[in-house]
Structure 1
């Protein structure tokens, strides 16, 4: 063993050919391919990327411009708003029209309309005088321009939130005169955030290796820095847009260094040869030094092998084989031990997090202290966020369980790595099949919400950019001690549940939705009863009432649980009414419409999806009800009677006797037909019409309760008030007050 050096020779002769061939190939590839191919490909790739970016940005801006020109065409709603007398409904429609433009194009920061006849400005929130509008200076400047209709250079726009001025934002603006030739009626202004444009551009490139810069027509940077256009790199490409006149510059990060490296020189050849010589010499030196401890280990193993008796080792087994077997057993045992420890750690973390979220740690202070020290956490301030997978039903159908587990692991890993990059301490775990909880812990409570918001936004944007699904994240408020963690978790869970009305793939802060009233339930139930009654009576107005119902839900930003509760009542009430009025329709309702409605509530994540599914299912049901109603006896006669009652319901002498004399039908038989055809007694139907008319008067006019009572033929106002309260649940005065509050809330 002492005089045997075959091992070191084998190492040397094994390393040298590999080292020589590897270094030679790398040098050849570096100088041949990189010097000749990469420069040309880099320049061409930058040019193609710049053209693509310019085309995409121009296309988006053109689409915004085309849509804006369509809505200002003569005879449209927008021109009516500018030309005709002021009308709240028209104001609301135009505000929705502007909001719809913002919804279609996420680049748009704000849209507002200046009306020349009264110097007022309408945006998505209110109609106000020009003097109170934060961006009034730009409107006044735009009115003096001779050639509007082109995108402006970046400018600072004044912002406001909840009626207070906030930080200015850098935007590019497109303005149109209305009408186009004179602008005598007003001016339409569309603002696009420069930050949104930069973000849009960065989504089309790889920011790690590529740098994108935008310059306006004057050569100034679009990022707000007042400096002229920088000289173009040799590895960069400039594209000037024919539409906006902006310059799009795409270059490789570190381009100056690459330019220097890409120019071939004999210096690199001599440097490569010197590297080979140095590598060979280093290999001899390192191999000699590395062999000494190996030789010592082998001598010890040899002595140990000769001392051990009764071993099952084979006679021809070498020392390396013996070491290999020992190491293999050690690795196997260690891996098994680490797996077991990892499983215990996962279970322990889950239990620890559940205790924190439920606030049950107080039952065992010692256990809490042990877990706190185990996870390296310190007392301080806490905040909870709940991440929820969007469209989870489709997610479960699209991917098998293994893929689902992989995606969830990716989401949790990205969250942990992002937190580590920002130096944040978190405890995170999947607490349900589609919900992932993030607990941020900090000794410093300052800007805790901002740090959690920044972390969640990076996780959300990463998932959106790299995976085939999206997530919505709800954030609770900060907690000053461990006892308040449960409250923060409940707030985060309530916030994420509001995605059904606020939308998917976003961050929902509990502070933003806290304090926003859900509305009085009787208002929703009233609309539901109206929709069901109109469906049952085959009246086409049900579709408009259904749309109003979903509009009210969206305006109040109800949580998912509240929306489900309302729609379950809708299905129950519809089934109850059909059983009483159209029992022959129950079979088809139970077979087709009801499963479709319940499935829509289960699988739809947004209110828009729910509304579309409900409208489709109820449309089919309405057709079936109409066919059944047509087949009933005396259907035409009963419709004539119903129309007569609807026209003369204010007549105090209207009764079954009067109807029987007019239509030559026995009063008792007429009452039976009325119940079968309409589903209500004559008196209930008549009272319903009168109460509906009374509600319209209370809601839309200033007529007194006594006058309404007289109009409806009641002998005294007390009788009217008693009937109204029994039907609506509120007195006439209370109902009028609630409607005024609701109208004021919507206007605000």
Structure 2
């Protein structure tokens, strides 16, 4: 008997990176990724592959020994991931289903495995076991309806989207949560937003769901079932809430994040996760906003703040370099020197020597 094992290669954060860098850049990266998949697959007997646009490839392994097929698929998956990391600006997730008697069944299993990327995150190999028992549904780790109501009624679209995105990331880490449970929780919150934001009410005060369904059509809710990437889910949430809620003059999540960075960049332990928690958003969402709105990254923005402060101190004071490092968020003089070399092109001492102007 001949068995088939399918491996689905899926580029991580494709939509977010395409929006940040542009379609021509993404198309060039896709060509490199496709070559990487082809080079890993074509050198193996009994292995075929095909592209699944825009950013996936299905690799099919066939043979008589199911255990050997699974072992070969795991080896191939790691090779494909390594090649994509080496030859593109991306990472990839490879999802492997259990052996099946035919290619269609094997492909279905690989796609079921890839669905778990929504919960597990990317940049990994996902192997789905043969049995798919539905777990007992846990309860959400935290309820956000009170804060969500406040943001929705204030018309804070980005704030509501960021709150939901951060909540989804937290829920995904809960034991026993699978993609089905996570989506059900999210749909419940979306319906809650529709209820809170809905201006139309029936005579008894209840929500006019006929009117509400025009603002959140059933096809939009069904679309959630096709999303298996949290970075894209965050983009999707921002777009949908933008339609559901009126605009607001309040500061958006990115403005809050930038203000928090401006106040805390001198902390050497500051991380993206700290900023995300402070503004009730997710790290994925903050990264996406920096790329989309500022055409930069969180780390580059933070480095810019620290180096601007360091340059001011170097040119306006006689403080030693190690003291300046401590004042600008660098854990050591070596770390400050490294950042200067990389971004300014010289050492702090050389910069001071060329530009120092004593104060009064």
Q: TM-score, normalised by structure 1?
A: 0.25
**Of the two, which has the highest radius of gyration?**
1
